[in-house]
A and B are shown apart, each in its own frame.
Chain A
Amino acid sequence: MSISRQDIEKVALLARLQLNESELQMMTGQLAQIVAYVDLLAEVDTEGVEPMAHAVEVANVFEDDVVRPSLPREAALANAPHHDERGYLVPAVLGE
């Protein structure tokens, strides 16, 4: 499948990346090349093949419902770029 600049713009918004003009151009070219290569998989007959999402296929891993101590709030917020000691601060989410 071919890749257009609009495809990359759309994907960049989905991925929350801001690309400038030259990055957009470069990315469009490189992605087109990579996608053309991975199109190679189309020739493989995968009729009836189960997808393999995990490298090792195990099931039913659980933990018991027993509360463990949480992080002190100070430690939880310590890495936040912007906080008021009670919570994380972000530009207003209203109107989004």
Chain B
Amino acid sequence: MPEYSTIIGLEVHVQLATASKLFCRCSTQFGAEPNTQTCPVCIGMPGSLPVMNREAFRLALKTAVALNCEIPAFTKWDRKQYYYPDLPKNYQISQYDLPMSQHGHLDINDSKGLFESKRVRIRRAHLEEDAGKSLHDEVAGKADSLIDLNRTGTPLLEIVTEPDLRSPMEAKTFLTELRLLLTYIGVSDCNMQEGSLRVDANVNLHISAPQGNVATPIVEIKNMNSFRVVERALDYEAQRQWREWQETHQQLDEVPKQTRGWDDAAGVTRAQRSKEESSDYRYFPDPDLVPVTVGHSEVEQLRESLGELPAALRERLVTDRGLSAYDADVLVNQGRPVVDYFLDVTRRTGDAKAAANWVTQDVLRLLKDQNAGIDQFPVAAAALADLIQKIKNGEVPSPRAREVFQAMVERRLDASAAMNAVGISAVDETELIALCEQLLEANPRTIADVRSGKTQAIGALIGKAKKINPNVDPTRVREICLELIAKR
């Protein structure tokens, strides 16, 4: 093991789930033909002016509250200036010195105990407008890039963590937990393929050297398009910095901050060219937009509207429902609808353990196979609860329960119909007693064995009963026979 620790901070851009853009009312719908969702404002035409989207601000505030941020009473808009063709005004409306939220935190832990649970501090979260897209058609060998401004002006929340993460796995866990939180509170769809969630990472190493701890230069990593890739890229980059340190012994502040892009095919990070002047963004307050003031009561109202957040929900499933930390984690990480499904099954059966087993094993496996959501799952919570009840009261013999469930899923049947379909008919209690009487009558030796203390002798009767009627519940046959022997 090399003698260093990896220091990671993340910058996450989240697209907020609004219908219209941050400063104009063009649609934010993904996937439209290039330049069909633009107007004078988002094209930055002369004379156009931005007007703030109320819902975007509300969603941003909601997120900040969920991330335990302080919400300052006053926030404002600044222009961040740099030239790029997908940024038509050549400045981005963002927030600089007075962001809408700061100093929050998000706790992460690993239910398998792979790292200690920890609190990751959020430095700030601020709103800004997105840029458009530059498409360069290299295949066609064209010299020009095509600019599509559909995405220009889409509301983004930039969430910046403190450098509190100590391994690529922690970084991945943080991102997973953040995405879960954002989807729980419904502020973003967090779809990385469509760019609604983007991650950049700042990483360096703290190395214990003879002269004491030293830090390597901070590198910003871009172009990571999944959480898995974030983990790989950070793994690679930590090793690369370690090798570089051994060669150069360059420390933090001895070289300018570097930006490297992840090359997924090659599995390496590569230095990106950056010009010295490009870092002078000349931020200043946007005179076209007025500040926003946020009152205490507004923040409290939002806090109340959040609903139960993932961490609290896990806690409740463990303490109130008696689930294992692992099961609670599995359920909660699937998102609120799966948890609601589980809770519904539990409410109807009064058996959280059985419900958790069925949901975490059978239901989730099928959902994964079909790549579907719980809302598309053919077995409603009530139907699953019915099946569990029928197992408990012996109508469905335990060994055949999966068979019944399979029929419910594949043939869209309720529990009773599925039982009929697989040939289980509920055996009438009187009929069952009569059958037991008949068997005891025919097997006096078994009665004698039981009376002499060999209760396992009943097993032979159970086998015989199942031959006569395959639907009988073995447990029940045993119970009835013992009762009848006692009465004789």
Contact = CB atoms under 8 A, between A and B. Distances in A.
Contact of A66 (B19, B83, B86, B289): B19
Interface size range on A against B: 35 or more
B136 A60 contact: no
Given A65-B19, A65-B56, A93-B85, A70 B293 contact: no
Contacts of B57: 62
B25 A86 contact: no
Interface of A is mostly: loop
Interface string B18-54: 1110000111000001111111100101000001111
A73 B147 CA distance: 13
Contact of A92 (B27, B52, B145): B145
Interface size class of B (residues with CB under 8 A): 35 or more
A86 B53 contact: no
Interface string A1-40: 0000000001001101000000000000000000000000
A77 B34 CA distance: 11
B304 interface: no
Given A14-B280, A62-B51, A93-B134, A73 B33 contact: yes
A68 B84 CA distance: 27
B51 A91 contact: no
Contacts of B145: 89-94
Contact of B33 (A61, A84, A86): A86
B292 interface: yes
Contacts of B290: 54, 57-61
B186 interface: no
Nearest to B284: A53
A65 B147 contact: no
A53 B287 contact: yes
Contacts of B19: 65-67
Contact of A93 (B27, B45, B84, B293): B84
A10 B134 CA distance: 27
Given A67-B20, A67-B26, A90 B144 contact: yes
10 contacts: A62-B54, A63-B25, A65-B56, A71-B38, A86-B148, A88-B146, A90-B134, A93-B85, A93-B86, A94-B145
The 5 closest A-B pairs by CB, nearest first: A65-B55, A62-B54, A68-B25, A53-B285, A88-B147
Interface of B: 18-20, 25-27, 33-40, 43, 45, 51-57, 74, 76, 83-86, 90, 134-136, 138, 143-149, 273, 277, 280, 282, 284-285, 287, 289-293
